Chains A and B, each alone.
Chain A
Amino acid sequence: MTSTIIWTIAILAGLGLLLSLVLFFIAKKFKVEEDPRIDEVEAVMPGANCGGCGFAGCRAFADAAVKAPNLDNNYCPVGGNEVMKKVAAILGYEIKEKAPMVAVVRCNGTCENRPKTNIYGGSSSCKVKASLYAGDTACPYGCLGCGDCVNACQFGALSLDETTGLPVVDETKCTACGACVKACPKSIIELRNKGPRGMRVYVSCVNKDKGVVARKACSAACIGCGKCAKVCASEAITVENNVAYIDFTKCRLCKKCVAECPTGAIHDVNFPVLKPKAAPVEEKKEENNG
């Protein structure tokens, strides 16, 4: 009886020892040589695996960054300049600093501004809704409000505002990974320059219909009148297909266009309240939440 137990233990221990030796030698023989810098780079990455850089995850990015001759095409939008400086230090490269970006929802079609013309009863997905028809308002370009962008955001930076029906970006959480931009079937969300102290000016509308039609569908639509382009001193505004667009690389944040816009389609956010004169504009901004 005792001998059986002893034998069993001895055989199993012997077997374990033997196999571990085999594994040890195999592991030595077939070891995959990997650049140790990949691990180092991965360690400084944010580790969100969001895919905002264009690679499958942080390790894939690290691998690509190590193999690339420079860092021009590899940039982690989530970590931003801080992380990229660390990466550059590990790899001995130089980086071009990029201005921080933020996702901007370019639709002003709140329930108040843009009345519903029909009731959507189908699957609650913007993609499905966009494949079926133009949407439950008269504006075929605007936000569909099913929250595909909210579901796509891994950082919890987006939420649907129940009173307006539009998604709201939390600037402190947004990392500009661009997942929401890809998720939006109407291409409403754009990555824009965050601006000094978060100050920025943008056209919150993508409606390409003629002014009359756009205005009828939504009281805060861009009607493509071109007043903003005329008043702009830095030639940042172009009007194409009945809709204005502000080039954020040229915009000097003078806010002349904001005062000029007849429908309030141009939004300015995070500007400090200076004069009482500017107060009505500021109020509007808060309503629409940039």
Chain B
Amino acid sequence: MARTTFSLGGVHPNDAKYAKDHAIEVLPLPQTVYISVAQHLGAPAVPCVAVGDTVKAGQVIAEPAGFISAFVHSSVSGTVKSIGPRKDLAGNNVTHIEIAVEGDDWVDGVDLSDTLITEIPADRAAVLDKIKACGVVGLGGATFPTHVKLNPAPGSKAECLILNAAECEPYLTCDYRIMIERTDEIVVGAAIMQMVLGGCKTVFGVEENKPEAIKALKESVARLGYKDMSVLPLKKKYPQGGEKQLIDAVMKRQVKSGGLPISVGAVVQNVATSLAVYEAVQKNKPLVTNTMTVTGDCVPDEAMHNYMFRIGMPLSYIAEQAGGVPQDAAKIISGGPMMGKAVANFDACTVKGSSSILYLSESATKRHPEGACIRCGKCAEACPMGLEPFLLNRLYKAGDVPALEQNAAQDCIECGCCLYTCPANIPLLDNIRLAKGQVMGAIKARAAAAKAAAEAASSEKK
């Protein structure tokens, strides 16, 4: 059936969607939540509550600090106990707001009912404001503030809104579950974003390993009857859900190095973001809940869950609710096995973008000793960005930043295909990620110098 996918590279890991038949369960509230102020890409938000304040669920507790930043809301009702540094899942200190839970009161105006509101508001600016005020960020992984993405710079026009329903990461099933259980809401959310972008074409890109989701979305799109909306099944290949890969798969257009998707007329939004947009615009509900999968290769079927969680719940609490950490688990990952982060601190709390607790056994995660590169070229074949990982690795070791830039290290999307295919187990991604950082640093320094020079020149003229 589906014959479309992105053109370059990619790998085929076992999709291992073991938890796909577990319906979404709502997690009970813990006694305390710790809400991070850095839950989005960009500047961390600034807390705007004080210790001792009583807050309601859905109340703003931190305000954006800059253009690319987002509001953070309380996910529970209760009393603010403390505001201070707490370790995130990588063990680094981030400011968290600690709230002791008391009851479950929501702020006025939030509609918690299940009734579907299909009517799309027509006022574009008001809708954007609402999305911003509700703190909606991209839930596909990067947590980029959605209101910024839906408001392209003047002069650029969106031709196609792509709904990222690929969920190409193995194991994860939370997007799949919301596509099955909350299909209509996702479709309405998509229609709202379509309106904001000026009524462009809207395509759901779904991988063909989720036939039930394709069916449900197709039925819902037909039933709700929004204009120019379609569902496109895609051939299964990782990293289909990468923004640039999905644009290539759906529109057959390639984003230039350093360019944004809007430069080829595309805007990509995750289905979970679409649901958050629906809740924000139609129900006034801020982004304080999301779905996550608890799964793994050493987890018995009864211990697998798809949960609806509130932001700020400790991961250890969720694990406890799911039946404890399995005995064979050697590594705990938050996110998918390809791009997710290993959890160094299990007391870390969920954030807007949390998508899983993944338990992997030692055999699945153990790194094998590094060998010598035999120039087989598998990494270059697998790279979905058309880079040459083996070359970048060598250039990084030589410390040649200009050559790294020439060979486009900055275009790496950190998908991990190179590391996945390398028969010599060379830590390609680890090194290229650092190389990318160096190149980005050099580019930024150059831009800053150019800006300073231009300013100096213009002030001289005056």
Residues of A within 8 A of B (CB): 117-118, 121-123, 125, 127-128, 131-136, 138, 140, 209
Is there an interface contact between B365 and A121, defined as CB atoms closer than 8 Å? yes
Is there an interface contact between A131 and B433, defined as CB atoms closer than 8 Å? yes
**Contacting residue for B434 out of A127, A135, A140, A209, CB 8 A:** A127
Chain B contact residues: helix, strand, loop or mixed: mixed
Task: Judge if B323 is at the interface, Cβ distance under 8 Å.
Answer: no
Task: Judge if B431 is at the interface, Cβ distance under 8 Å.
Answer: yes
Distance in angstroms between the alpha carbons of A117 and B344 in the assembled complex: 8
Contacts of A140 in B (CB 8 A): 87, 91-93
Contacts of A133 in B (CB 8 A): 90-92, 341-342, 344
Is there an interface contact between A128 and B365, defined as CB atoms closer than 8 Å? no
Contacts of A127 in B (CB 8 A): 434
Task: Judge if B375 is at the interface, Cβ distance under 8 Å.
Answer: no
Distance in angstroms between the alpha carbons of A135 and B427 in the assembled complex: 18
Residues of B within 8 A of A (CB): 87, 90-93, 331, 341-342, 344-345, 365-367, 370, 427, 430-431, 433-434, 437
Q: A134-B87, A140-B91, A140-B93 are in contact. Are A121 and B366 (CB under 8 A)?
A: yes
**Contacting residue for B91 out of A121, A123, A128, A138, CB 8 A:** A138
Distance in angstroms between the alpha carbons of A127 and B431 in the assembled complex: 9
Q: A118-B344, A121-B366, A121-B367 are in contact. Are A132 and B431 (CB under 8 A)?
A: no
Give 21 pairs: A residue, B residue, CB < 8 Å, sorted on A: A117-B345, A121-B331, A122-B367, A122-B430, A123-B367, A123-B370, A123-B430, A123-B431, A125-B427, A128-B434, A131-B433, A132-B341, A133-B90, A133-B342, A134-B91, A134-B92, A136-B344, A138-B91, A140-B91, A140-B92, A140-B93
Q: Which 3 residue pairs are nearest across A and B when measured between Cβ atoms?
A: A134-B91, A123-B427, A133-B90
Tell me, rounded to whole Å, the shortest Cβ–Cβ distance linking A154 to chain B.
15
Distance in angstroms between the alpha carbons of A135 and B431 in the assembled complex: 17
Contacts of A132 in B (CB 8 A): 90, 341-342, 430
Is there an interface contact between A128 and B90, defined as CB atoms closer than 8 Å? no
Distance in angstroms between the alpha carbons of A136 and B342 in the assembled complex: 12
Contacts of A138 in B (CB 8 A): 91
Is there an interface contact between A134 and B90, defined as CB atoms closer than 8 Å? yes
Of all chain A residues, the one with the shortest Cβ separation from B331 is A121
**Contacting residue for B431 out of A117, A118, A128, CB 8 A:** A128
Of all chain A residues, the one with the shortest Cβ separation from B437 is A131
Distance in angstroms between the alpha carbons of A131 and B345 in the assembled complex: 16
Contacts of A121 in B (CB 8 A): 331, 365-367
Contacts of B90 in A (CB 8 A): 132-134
Distance in angstroms between the alpha carbons of A125 and B87 in the assembled complex: 23
Tell me, rounded to whole Å, the shortest Cβ–Cβ distance linking A236 to chain B.
29
Distance in angstroms between the alpha carbons of A122 and B427 in the assembled complex: 8
Contacts of B433 in A (CB 8 A): 128, 131
Contacts of A136 in B (CB 8 A): 344
Distance in angstroms between the alpha carbons of A133 and B333 in the assembled complex: 13
Of all chain B residues, the one with the shortest Cβ separation from A138 is B91
Distance in angstroms between the alpha carbons of A121 and B364 in the assembled complex: 12
Distance in angstroms between the alpha carbons of A118 and B90 in the assembled complex: 11
Chain A contact residues: helix, strand, loop or mixed: loop
Contacts of A117 in B (CB 8 A): 344-345
- Residue among A117, A125, A132, A136 facing the most chain B CB atoms (10 A cut-off): A132
Contacts of B427 in A (CB 8 A): 122-123, 125, 128
Contacts of B366 in A (CB 8 A): 121
Is there an interface contact between A125 and B430, defined as CB atoms closer than 8 Å? yes
Tell me, rounded to whole Å, the shortest Cβ–Cβ distance linking A156 to chain B.
21
Contacts of A131 in B (CB 8 A): 430, 433-434, 437
Distance in angstroms between the alpha carbons of A258 and B331 in the assembled complex: 41
Distance in angstroms between the alpha carbons of A138 and B344 in the assembled complex: 9
Contacts of A134 in B (CB 8 A): 87, 90-92, 344
Contacts of B93 in A (CB 8 A): 140, 209
Contacts of A128 in B (CB 8 A): 427, 430-431, 433-434
- Residue among A128, A134, A138 facing the most chain B CB atoms (10 A cut-off): A134
Contacts of B431 in A (CB 8 A): 123, 128
Distance in angstroms between the alpha carbons of A140 and B400 in the assembled complex: 29
Contacts of B91 in A (CB 8 A): 133-135, 138, 140
Of all chain A residues, the one with the shortest Cβ separation from B92 is A134
Of all chain A residues, the one with the shortest Cβ separation from B426 is A123
Distance in angstroms between the alpha carbons of A67 and B91 in the assembled complex: 50
Of all chain B residues, the one with the shortest Cβ separation from A123 is B427
Tell me, rounded to whole Å, the shortest Cβ–Cβ distance linking A150 to chain B.
16
Contacts of B370 in A (CB 8 A): 123
Of all chain A residues, the one with the shortest Cβ separation from B91 is A134
Of all chain B residues, the one with the shortest Cβ separation from A209 is B93
Distance in angstroms between the alpha carbons of A117 and B332 in the assembled complex: 13
Of all chain A residues, the one with the shortest Cβ separation from B365 is A121
Distance in angstroms between the alpha carbons of A208 and B313 in the assembled complex: 27
Of all chain B residues, the one with the shortest Cβ separation from A118 is B344
Tell me, rounded to whole Å, the shortest Cβ–Cβ distance linking B198 to chain A.
40
Tell me, rounded to whole Å, the shortest Cβ–Cβ distance linking A138 to chain B.
7
Tell me, rounded to whole Å, the shortest Cβ–Cβ distance linking A211 to chain B.
14
Contacts of B434 in A (CB 8 A): 127-128, 131
In the complex, besides A131-B434, A140-B93, 6 extra interface pairs with C-beta distance below 8 angstroms are A117-B344, A123-B431, A128-B427, A131-B430, A132-B430, A133-B341
- Residue among B92, B344, B366 facing the most chain A CB atoms (10 A cut-off): B344
- Residue among A121, A123, A127, A138 facing the most chain B CB atoms (10 A cut-off): A123
Distance in angstroms between the alpha carbons of A209 and B91 in the assembled complex: 12
Distance in angstroms between the alpha carbons of A134 and B348 in the assembled complex: 13
Of all chain B residues, the one with the shortest Cβ separation from A185 is B434
Of all chain B residues, the one with the shortest Cβ separation from A133 is B90
Distance in angstroms between the alpha carbons of A135 and B93 in the assembled complex: 12
Contacts of A123 in B (CB 8 A): 367, 370, 427, 430-431
Distance in angstroms between the alpha carbons of A128 and B437 in the assembled complex: 12
Tell me, rounded to whole Å, the shortest Cβ–Cβ distance linking B278 to chain A.
35
Contacts of B344 in A (CB 8 A): 117-118, 133-136
Distance in angstroms between the alpha carbons of A121 and B342 in the assembled complex: 10
Of all chain B residues, the one with the shortest Cβ separation from A129 is B430
Distance in angstroms between the alpha carbons of A198 and B93 in the assembled complex: 37
Tell me, rounded to whole Å, the shortest Cβ–Cβ distance linking B53 to chain A.
23
Distance in angstroms between the alpha carbons of A122 and B87 in the assembled complex: 21
Distance in angstroms between the alpha carbons of A209 and B331 in the assembled complex: 27
Contacts of A125 in B (CB 8 A): 427, 430
Tell me, rounded to whole Å, the shortest Cβ–Cβ distance linking A208 to chain B.
9
Distance in angstroms between the alpha carbons of A125 and B434 in the assembled complex: 11
Tell me, rounded to whole Å, the shortest Cβ–Cβ distance linking A214 to chain B.
12
Distance in angstroms between the alpha carbons of A209 and B93 in the assembled complex: 9
Distance in angstroms between the alpha carbons of A117 and B348 in the assembled complex: 14
Distance in angstroms between the alpha carbons of A121 and B333 in the assembled complex: 13
Distance in angstroms between the alpha carbons of A125 and B430 in the assembled complex: 9
